[in-house]
Structure 1
Amino acid sequence: MNETTFRWVQHGILVVLLLLYAGSFAAFFHPFLAARSRHTLRQRTAAVFCIYLAPYLTGLVADLPNWSSMAFIALAMSLLSAPLRLSRQTILLLSAVFFSARNLCALAMESLNFLWSQRLSEMNDAEQIFLRLTIHFLLLMLVQFALFLAVLFLAAGVLHRKELHLGVWETFCLLLIPVTGILVGSILFTMLIGVKDGVIFQLYEQHPLFIGLVPLVAGMFYAGTLVSIFSYQEMARLQEEKNTYFLEKQQIRAMQERMEEVEGFYTGIRRMKHEMRGHLANIRGLAQSGSYGEIEQYIGRMDESMKVFDLTVKTGNPITDVILSDRQRQAVKLGISFQVDFRYPQSERYDPYDIGIILNNLLQNALEGCEKLPEDARYIRLLGKQQKKFFLIEVKNPFEGELEIDRDSRLPHSTKGGMFHGIGLSNVRREVEKYMGEIEIKTRNNEFCATVLLQERSVPK
């Protein structure tokens, strides 16, 4: 094999590798490219593939340092964050992790490249040298790409543990290690081969210790990247659990306080019963004196005072009575049609506070979903009925916008904010799991339907 053939084969191998890296880049981003249809998902994945190839095929970074192509791709991805439905913070982190893996793997393989090259220097036949160089280059690229896939797969496993919701500060902290690794790798690449007094020398020849030290540094940088992401995810998970627990306790406390108010109302009703004789005596006295206008005013004042004690929804349980009555009043103020067909289960194997939390969160989401719609399009339909050992709760309401599914909880959240904050539906799921039940979310013709199915506990709580 002559030098020209060797150059063509080397060029062909590099082109194939470029396509493989572009495919890996697209596959790495693929799970984060949320889409309502497979066709849209394929389009977004293809766009990521083309963005990776663009700087190389157009020659924009041909005479620039290696890190410039990475910066160009990350910048292009960030500018297209809206069509890709990815936040800029997520794009920057994923790009940094990908290019850090690519750079550090290439840097680690330089040690192997140096050791293999030593054996080629002992050969004299030119054709044999070029043939061995071709085999050597091909094997080196294959091993490098296999190593890259392994570390990228490890990174994907860490990143996919929990959906990323990054702020500017969190992104900055998580980018420190991978970006530093890319820059350090780029500096070391320029130092591997140098010229001194007209003589070309390799860093590994001058400092043999670097043969093992460089791969170790590359591995430590990448391990630091993964550890920092893992630590952030754990802190985010713990904070989410803390928020969920706090919100649940707050809801229970609010229901307890509301129940105390209701107890006060019932006490007032009992007191009014005792006072009714006095009221009747007063009305009789006004009638005997012919003060009929004052009688009407007196009865009107009595009617207003008694309205305070009304609970507009009767479910068979005081806790759910209070929750549904309060939500109905709130719906009326917002111009929302509120239809209720709910009967509390007769079984004692359900905790009314658990069912109260489920209703509270589902109805809060429904109210928020209706607020953005015209008044004539607002409605909430609630169904609650017992079916043997099961209890069914169903809430329907209209909504606008698109729904996306959270990869961790498998629950929907809104792309425009307002509805489905995540914590509310997560609280519902937590309560449902106590009863070995299920929560099912369906959407059809811009109608959101949340169905909860609970089953009786084996032992009463």
Structure 2
Amino acid sequence: MEIYWAVISHVTRIAVIGITGYFFSCFSRPFLVRRKHAWLVGASYFTAMLILYFIPDELESTLVYAAGSLAAFLSMYFIDHAKTEQKIFLAVMMYLLWWITHGIAIVPRGILFELIINASNITARPKLQVICYAVTEIIYMLSWFLVMAGLTHIIDRIYTCKNENMTKKELGLMLATPMSVLAGYYAFTFFDNAYEMDMNYYIQDMRPEYSWILALYQLISFLAMAVAVASYQGIKESAALSVQIENMKRHIGQVEALYGDIRGLKHDMGNHIMTIENLVLQQEQQEAIAYLGNLKKELDETNKEVRTGNPVTDVILTEYRREAEGKGIEFLCDFHYPGGTDINAFDVSVILNNALGNAVEAAGKCSHPYVAIQSYRRKNAYIIEVRNNYTGKLMTDEKTGLPESTKNGYEHGFGMHNIRKVAQKYFGDIDFEYKEDEAVLSIMLMVQPA
């Protein structure tokens, strides 16, 4: 019967390695540019672990699984050389996710061994014991699958900005909690090994509650890591929001400067008329024409300002039109601010800054670039549409279907997230369509009278 025990044991261990490799592929996929090659992450992990599993000399488990995580990191780096710091963090998370999954999944397995496999009426019947062992290992593999699926899904949901460029300082901050968990992992491993060497028994066999304590610690450790990731995302969002607030302050300053120029021009208009009148009376026709030309040029500068019905959106659209025209991008604007509604100008500015920033960035790479923005009402729905052409491959988030920004810095990756956040504040949402070489972003806000 020993051969059956050995076969079941080997199949179980290899299956667990395969399940882990599969989820590591799924876990890393959203973070990679070349996502179709994410299977290499799981394959490299599986291959490395399989080789180490069949090495005759027994190796320390901590080193074995560290080697597996290293193989996963190297494959991620091979697929995409960028964002090395983020890949280091992901590899550490993979290492700890394996350990936490093992600690939780082993609990029901230990219970089944205690209550069924090692029961006296089962041990007396070797064939039945082997069958019970096989069923127990199937339950263990299923438990491993479910726990690993749950843990990776939670981190995937919390880690919202997967295309960010993590700095070394941010990596150090993000690794603080996992490293504390890692220290606990090595401490538990040391105690396990020391007890086994001194007593010639596994501590779990002598103290069954030990497995429960370890599983509880691992669960708390995972929650701590999840909170750390969520807090980090919150810090990044706050930093991005502070950048937007600074942009807003700059826009307000530009509004004040614009209206100051207009007031100054109106104030000087009487003097301009008097000067032209004197030049005409003195028969200085050429000077009068030149003076009128300069005055017309100054008036044209003020007339170039976009009029939307709100000074804040006026300045934002004017600024983006100037930026677009400076880059040779055709800028078409039919935007009207929804006056008399409960919509806040700051919220609209968040939408415009992020949407137009992405549109100008994408269109600037085309041979005949254009950006078009329009807004309209459909009953209580206020809709903003931004259209632009683009070239090359457009990266989109698989879950949301929304495009991913290529910007760097604190604003990186939060553009669409911030737009959706504003839209949902007004019980609306956003939609993104692209076909051939045109992208269309639609933002719907449900408005009420102010």
2:222 maps to what in 1? 226
Residue 341 of structure 1 corresponds to: 334
Normalised to the residue count of structure 2, the TM-score between the two structures is 0.79
Query: Which residue of structure 2 aligns with residue 384 of structure 1?
Result: 375
Cα drift, residue 226 of structure 1: 0.9
- Checking the alignment, whether the CA contact within 8 Å between 1:315 and 1:344 is kept in structure 2 is yes
Q: Which moved more, 1:307-316 or 1:260-269?
A: 307-316
Question: Measured at CA, do residues 377 and 30 of structure 1 come closer, stay the same or move farther in structure 2, by a change above 3 Å?
Answer: same
Q: Helix, strand or coil for the counterpart of 1:413?
A: coil
Equivalent of 1:141, from 137, 141, 164? Answer: 137
1:6/1:134 contact within 8 Å kept: no
In structure 2, C-alpha distance between the alignment counterparts of 1:405 and 1:358, rounded to whole Å: 19
CA contact (8 A) 2:117 2:132 kept: no
* Cα displacement string for residues 46-98 of structure 1 (whole angstroms, at most 9, x for unaligned residues): 86156315542586644241334312321221111056669523531342133
Give 1:51's aligned residue.
45
Change in Cα spacing, 1:190 to 1:333, as seen in structure 2 (3 Å) is same
CA 279–239 in structure 1, closer or farther in 2 if over 3 Å, else same: same
**CA distance change for structure 1 residues 245 and 284 in 2, over 3 Å: closer, same or farther?**
same
Out of 389, 404, 418, the position equivalent to 2:396 is 404
Please show how residues 134-173 of structure 1 align to structure 2 within 5 Å: 134=130, 137-138=133-134, 141-142=137-138, 144-145=140-141, 148-149=144-145, 151-163=147-159, 167-173=170-176
SS of 2:303's partner is coil
One of 395, 419, 424 as aligned partner of 2:386:
395
- Structure with bigger gyration radius: 1
Residue number in structure 1 paired with 2:182: 179
Secondary structure at the residue paired with 1:340? strand
* TM superposition shift of 1:450: 0.9
Following superposition, the deviation at residue 395 of structure 1 comes to 1.1
List runs of 5+ in structure 1 lacking aligned partners: none
User: Which amino acid in structure 2 is aligned with residue 322 of structure 1?
Assistant: V
Whole-Å Cα distance in 2 between the matches of residues 137 and 60 of structure 1? 22
Tell me the distance in 2 between the aligned counterparts of 1:331 and 1:340. Answer: 12
Report if the CA contact (8 A) 1:401-1:416 is conserved: no
Cα deviation code 1:208-239 (max 9, x no counterpart): 4x443x32452244134213212213312432
Residue by residue over 1:184-214, the C-alpha shift from the partner in whole angstroms, topping out at 9 and shown as x without a partner, is 4544554454489xxxx42559x94x443x3
Report the CA distance shift for 1:370/1:40 in structure 2 as closer, same or farther (over 3 A): closer
Aligned mates of 1:70, 1:358 — CA distance in 2: 45
Change (3 A) 1:106 1:424: closer
1:417-457 residue CA offsets vs partner (Å, 9 max, x unmatched): 59983333333223323432221112222432211223331
Specify which of 10, 13, 23 is matched with residue 27 of structure 1. Answer: 23
Residue 370 in structure 1 maps to residue 363 in structure 2 = yes
Shift of 1:31: 5.0
Aligned-residue offset at 1:45: 4.1
Matches within 5 A, 1:10-25: 10-25=6-21
How big is the alpha-carbon RMSD for the aligned residues of Structure 1 and Structure 2? 4.1
Task: Provide the residue aligned with 2:302 in structure 1.
Answer: 309
Is the Cα–Cα contact under 8 Å of residues 332 and 371 in structure 2 kept in the other structure? yes
Q: 1: CA distance between counterparts of 2:422 and 2:109?
A: 55
**Does the CA contact (< 8 Å) of 2:396 and 2:404 recur in 1?**
yes
| Number of residue equivalences | 437
Q: Which moved more, 1:384-393 or 1:256-265?
A: 384-393
SS at match of 2:328: coil
Alignment of 1:70-81 (within 5 A): 70-81=65-76
| Residues 102-111 or 162-171, more deviating | 102-111
- State the distance in 2 between where 1:29 and 1:319 align: 46
Name the % identity.
Answer: 17
Q: Give the aligned partner of residue 97 of structure 1.
A: 96
Contact 1:412/1:422 (<8 A) preserved: no
Match among 240, 246, 256 for residue 242 of structure 2: 246
Residues 426 and 157 of structure 1, relative CA distance in 2, 3 Å threshold: closer
Q: Is there any run of 5+ residues in structure 2 with no aligned partner, and where? A: none
